[in-house]
Structure 1
Amino acid sequence: MEATEPFQMFSDNESTLELGSRLVHSFEAPQTFDAFSVAMAVLHLAVCIVGLGGNSLVIIAILKLDKMASATTVYIFNLALADGLFMVGLPFVAFQNFHNKWIFGDVACKLVMVLDGINQFTSVFCLTVMSVDRYMALVDPVRFARWRTPKWAKIISAFLWLFSLLPVLPIALHFSVHYGLCMADTFVVKWWMTFLAYTFVLGFVLPFLVMIIFYTALVMTLRSSRQQGRSLPSQDSLSLEKQVTKMVVAVVVVFGICWLPFYVFNFCSLYTNNVLLAFARGFEIAVLLSYSWSCANPILYACLSETFGRYFRILLCPRKDSPSMHCNRETEGYDLRDTNGQDVSVLT
């Protein structure tokens, strides 16, 4: 998906940047497959396999072991679904990057780019809503219980999918096959810059700010509760605080690392006329990073969530004597005012 820059011709090697379809192409005659091109093709394949496999595992775990019985796992299910579908378009992008041509037709070009955009925005929106959900679950689950039911989570998730259609509608109108490539119609410069600006705000700035605000408030509330002795015993409370802090840092840092370079390259390209091949390759790496974010989420689940860690072990290493998994369906979190010491899972 995504907004980007009008095609720019590189002065020395006749290379063309295509940011709108999230691609970087190099047109050289004759076409050569150097070490960088081969390495990027392998990395694209690896990201696609890990992304599809990891998110499929999350979806199966939720449907088979959790049954989407909590608000949190409803959001995680939709996040995994969007991330998995996001990977579907990657082989098309990789093929065009590697062969410098689009052979799938104009309809497929529009369809791949639109689906790419919808899944990207839905994934980002789901992760943003999850930051609010985690705040409500761990700070005051009783107070927010009525808003954290699976029913409400499904309604909100459906809205996120529908809302994701709005910012990508221009893609259906302005993306098509030009010069043998699936690219955006970048000749209307005013539209292109507007598209880039609002996708950056909706797809990165606002979600990033919401995550930082709610996760910071969550950590500060946990720390304040521990210091005032209003929650778990000191050692357990400190452990919870450290667990949540690790989750906050991991989610925010991974999101920033994977998406910020892509948008930085987009804006830089708008003000660059003669771009070196190094810039084109740097942009291709930034594009791959943005896709990598979708395969990073299942890894975060496995590392940060004890519940999903157990789910994955049950699916990958099934044993007849494996204990059944049950999470706290009423609150899926920890009430800071409760001193009974209930179990807490950061993500579920």
Structure 2
Amino acid sequence: MDLSFLVDKEYNQTYLDERSYLADNIDGFGITMAILYLVVCILGLAGNSLVIVAILKLDKMTSSTTVYILNLALADGLFMVGLPFIASQNFQKHWIFGDMACKVVMVLDGINQFTSVYCLTVMSIDRYMALADPLRFARWRTPRIAKIVSAFLWLFSLITILPMALHFSSIGGQCIPNLVSDAWWLGTLTYTFFTGFALPFMVMTVAYTALLLTLRSKRIRAIAPHKQSQRLERQVTKMVVAVVVVFGMCWLPFYTFNFCSLYQSDLVQIFAKAFEFVVLLSYSWSCANPILYACLSDTFKGHFRTLLCQGNNLYPSIHNNTEQYDLHDTGTENTN
């Protein structure tokens, strides 16, 4: 289920005295948060758009890796589309777009957020297969298989979030879920926590740990370890740690605040403001992935430089080498 739609609206209904909080005048905090929402939205759209253009123009989706990255960037970019609606409600303390728009925004928000998480999870498995035993898993890592898996992830995300997202309504002036009962809300939070965070986080951790252990074992067994294999292990380690840590830092506070909201009875406005920041943090995860690519992936560094410096032909053959030695790019790929 889409986290952002849980948080943002939820705090207005579950643990706030809604009328007193929503009646507050717009202050420095509100203006600051509106600016931060705008910055995250612009960075997320720009960064993910750059990734999409780089893949379509320079890579042509010639590997399973870039198929997954394309779908991840697409989901992250579309996830940003709902951010102005959330920011508007937080800033004005009122939903002005109507009940149907509330449901549509929440459904699209949920699909894109869950698809983003699931793509990143599948990528962790894909990276293990590519670097641990590329020949053995080659037939499972073709662009065609990756496209089928990606299509399934979008469909699965829709099925996962649709029943919950449709519970949102703007009746009463806020786009928030219509809570059936406290038990229903606790069940919803638990369900979204496990499907949208705990299980994906566990899969990523297991896959990346197994990958690092396999790479280290291969290097130790080698009679004369090659510098390239050592470089590969260092790059993979940095990217793995970055991906897992950033994912946990952006989403764990969100779920923690959601569960705390069930028992929050005092410090209402302080808690609500902190929760608003946590929502922004969860959205910021979707603009973190392009930054990780740019900082830690040699291939995407080349792609971005090629796109941003059109007159510079420093990377004339980068599109033929999209599976180099980093977390998202490995040596051999079947392009059938």
Could you tell me the TM-score, scaled by structure 1's length? 0.88
Q: What is aligned with 2:91?
A: 98
CA distance in 2, matches of 1:50, 1:190: 38
Q: What is aligned with 1:58?
A: 51
Distance 1:55 1:264, change over 3 A: same
Q: Which of residues 242, 245, 262 is equivalent to 1:250? A: 242
Which amino acid is 2:264 matched to?
T
Q: Does 1:140 align with 2:123?
A: no
RMSD over equivalenced CA pairs, Å: 1.8
CA distance in 2, matches of 1:267, 1:258: 16
The 4+ residue runs of structure 1 with deviation greater than 3 A are: 1-6, 8-11, 326-329
Q: Does 1:47 align with 2:40?
A: yes
Q: Does 1:292 align with 2:284?
A: yes
Identity of paired residues, percent? 63
131-140 or 182-191: bigger deviation: 182-191
Q: Does 1:347 align with 2:328?
A: yes
Report the secondary structure of 2:261's partner residue. helix
Q: Does 1:152 align with 2:145?
A: yes
Q: What is aligned with 2:161?
A: 168
CA distance in 1, matches of 2:196, 2:237: 24
Report the CA distance between 1:228 and its aligned residue: 1.2
Q: Quick check: 1:208–1:252 contact (8 Å CA) kept in 2?
A: yes
Number of aligned pairs?
A: 322
Report the CA distance between 1:121 and its aligned residue: 0.3
Report the CA distance between 1:265 and its aligned residue: 0.1
Query: Deviation per CA, 1:255-312, whole angstroms, max 9, x where unpaired?
Result: 0000000000000111122343221111111100000000001001111111111000
Report the CA distance between 1:230 and its aligned residue: 6.4
Q: Does 1:304 align with 2:285?
A: no
Distance 1:278 1:319, change over 3 A: same
CA distance in 2, matches of 1:106, 1:246: 45
82-91 or 161-170: bigger deviation: 161-170
Q: What is aligned with 2:26?
A: 33
Query: What 5-or-longer segments of structure 2 have no aligned partner?
Result: 330-336
Report the CA distance between 1:123 and its aligned residue: 0.2
CA distance in 2, matches of 1:44, 1:171: 25
Query: Deviation per CA, 1:43-102, whole angstroms, max 9, x where unpaired?
Result: 000000000000000000111000111100000000000000000000000000000011
Which amino acid is 1:86 matched to?
F
Distance 1:62 1:168, change over 3 A: same
CA distance in 1, matches of 2:216, 2:118: 27
Could you tell me the TM-score, scaled by structure 2's length? 0.91
Q: What is aligned with 1:179?
A: 172
Q: Does 1:81 align with 2:74?
A: yes
Between Structure 1 and Structure 2, the one with more helix by share is 2
180-189 or 280-289: bigger deviation: 180-189
CA distance in 2, matches of 1:10, 1:84: 31
316-325 or 121-130: bigger deviation: 316-325
Q: Quick check: 1:10–1:275 contact (8 Å CA) kept in 2?
A: no
Q: Quick check: 1:303–1:309 contact (8 Å CA) kept in 2?
A: yes
Q: Quick check: 1:71–1:149 contact (8 Å CA) kept in 2?
A: yes
Q: Quick check: 1:225–1:231 contact (8 Å CA) kept in 2?
A: no
CA distance in 1, matches of 2:167, 2:19: 24
Q: Quick check: 2:107–2:166 contact (8 Å CA) kept in 1?
A: no
CA distance in 1, matches of 2:224, 2:151: 35
CA distance in 1, matches of 2:242, 2:168: 35
Q: Quick check: 1:113–1:171 contact (8 Å CA) kept in 2?
A: no
Query: Deviation per CA, 1:182-222, whole angstroms, max 9, x where unpaired?
Result: 11001433322211111100000000000100100111111
CA distance in 2, matches of 1:240, 1:231: 15
